[in-house]
Each structure stands twice: as C-alpha cells, then as structure tokens.
Amino acid sequence: MDSEISNNPAFQEVLNTLEIDRKKIASTYSVCYTVFGIAALVIVGGLIVGAATVAIILSLIPIIVGIVMLFQIDGDAQKYKIAYKNNVVATALKKINESLTFVPQSGLSEGEFISSDLFTTEPDRYKTQDLITGIVDKTSFSFAEVHAEYKTETQTKNGTRTEWHTIFKGIIFVADFNKNFSVSTVIRPKSFGNTVGAWFSKNIFSFGNTEIVQLENTDFDNQFVTYSRNQIEARYILTPAMMERILNLNSKSDETISISFISSKMYIAFPLSNNYFEAPIHTSLLVPDLLTDDLSIVQFMHDIVHELDLNTRIWGKE
C-alpha cells in the first residue's frame, strides 16, 4: 500500500474500524464452520455404530444453530464489504488519479458487452461489477470486471442437464478513440483456433466482405489475426507505432488480449481469474500489502492511455 495512504490518520481510522467488524464476522464464520463440523462428526459416528437415525436427529441442533448464525451475520458481512469498497478502495484510487471514480455495484452493460464485437456467443448469464471511470489528459476511459457465460442443455434419462460455460471472465477496458469508425476492426489472438466461446465478433461471420488484414509487422501478424470490412481504415488505425504499442501491452498481460475498434471506442478484453477489490474476511486489514494487487491492476489499466498513446489526436470525430 502507498505509504502516503497508509500513514493518513483518517484512512487508518477507517481501517481500524473495519478491522473490528472483520474480526467479528470472521469469528462468527469460524464458529459456524466448527458447528457444522460437529454435526458432520455426529452423523459419521452414528453411521459407524449403526445409529444413523439418532445421529441425524442429534445433528439437527448444531446445524440449525449454524444456519441461524450465518443468517444473522450475513447482513453485517455485506455492509462490511460495501464499506470496504466505498471507503478504502475508492479512497486509495485517488492517489493514482484524482479523476478516478469507483462504482462497485455498476459495470459494463450486457448490451455494450455484446456490441463490443469481441465475442462469438451472447451470454445466458451475465455478471459485472466494480466499474472504474476516469480521464487521462484528453482521453476518457472505463473498465469493469465481467463474467459472461452461456449454457448448454443435454437430455438424459433423468431429465435435462444444464451446464454453464465461460465466454469471458476478466476485465473489459473501454477508451475513447476520438474517431467514429465506419466499420468494426477486430484483433484476436492467433491461437484462437476453433475454441467455442472465444472472443471474436459474430459480425465477422455475418458479412461476406470481411477480410483478414495483412499488416506490415510480422511479429504482430504472428501474434494476432486482424479482421475488418475496410482494409484502408484498419491500416489507418493500426499504424506501425500502434502495432508496436499493442504488442508491448500484450507482453505485459498474463494472457493474450483481444481488441476491437467500433463506433468511436476501443475495447480491450483482459482475461483474468482473480476477483479484485474484495474485502478480506479471514486475513487482517492492517497489513502493508493490503491493496497492492488492486492498485497494481488499476495502475496497469490507467497507463493503457499512455501505453497506446491515445492522447495523440490524429483524427477528429466526424
């Protein structure tokens, strides 16, 4: 955590107050786990000695106690998590950029997720949270965590089995590109292959005149495949400098990114397995590395504007 933040008395007071709440919640959860463990041992013991019915009846007491405790503490846990995001994370973000705003309950709308032209499959289940917006010089941007899934249903002799499959889980970054593109240009990983549910615009399959754009950067073409219905505009966007910047950005990401340019926006999909900005329950808030991972990912997203030189206005919006 930034020393300027951690040494701030008001911020430290917030952490101290939340730490008291955290300990209470963690203690209650621990008691509940213990109670449920006792119930399980009673049932197992009853099965061993041949008194399963008696064991199940006896186990109902700790089970009911545990459920009641969980129900009672759930409201406190939710308040604690919200307070952590609003009072700890949101405050810390201001040290990166004063313009950053954090809206935990909001995210990237499902409509924009679909219209970003990055994904083959429309989601049957869609979750998004932790929207962060800001401005770097002339460029406005936003990003949010997204988890989109589609379902398949298989008929079995016991009925219908539903399975959920991930379309995308990670962060979607959106930035103003200062030009209204006439068509969409999509850049996807070369390793995309035929993977179901990977990131690639369905529009690419919908229009017969969509073509692979051959670019003059061998490293870029080895890493990505670029599609567009306007070869000239695609090359106008993907200048030699822009391709080098995208390659550099991709090298800093754990997994290969995917990008689209549509309307007047740039969308970048970063697949990630971690959930960020979540309040710890079973570990202390009063540790120096409390916000290290969270601030690192925000700084990374924030720096994309400079990384891709989005403040250089080579176009005006039409």
Task: Please report the pLDDT score of residue 4 as a whole number.
Answer: 62
Task: Please report the pLDDT score of residue 196 as a whole number.
Answer: 33
Give the distance from CA 265 to its chain's centroid.
19
Task: Please report the pLDDT score of residue 202 as a whole number.
Answer: 39
Range in 36-40, 56-60, 144-148, 225-229 with the lowest mean pLDDT: 56-60
Quick: pLDDT tens for 256-300: 999 999 988 999 999 998 889 999 999 999 998 899 999 999 999
CB 62 within 8 A of CB 39: yes
Task: Read off the amino acid at residue 64.
Answer: I
Q: Can you read off the two tokens belonging to residue 112? A: 């924009």
pLDDT at 48 over 70: yes
Q: What global pTM score does this model have?
A: 0.83
Contacts of 16 (CB under 8 A, 6+ apart): 286
Per-residue CA distances from 56 to 50, 65, 286 (Å):
12, 15, 42
Per-residue CA distances from 53 to 9, 34, 43, 60, 204 (Å):
58, 22, 9, 11, 62
CB 167 within 8 A of CB 302: no
Residue from 8, 181, 1 nearest 93 by CA: 1
Is the pLDDT higher at 63 or at 132? Answer: 132
* Average pLDDT of the chain, as a whole number: 86
Task: Please report the pLDDT score of residue 203 as a whole number.
Answer: 39
Task: Please report the pLDDT score of residue 6 as a whole number.
Answer: 63
Q: What number of helices (H) and strands (E) belong to the chain?
A: 11, 9
What is the Cα–Cα distance from 111 to 116, expressed in whole angstroms?
Answer: 9
Q: Report the C-alpha dihedral over residues 114, 136, 134, 185, rounded to 10 degrees.
A: 0
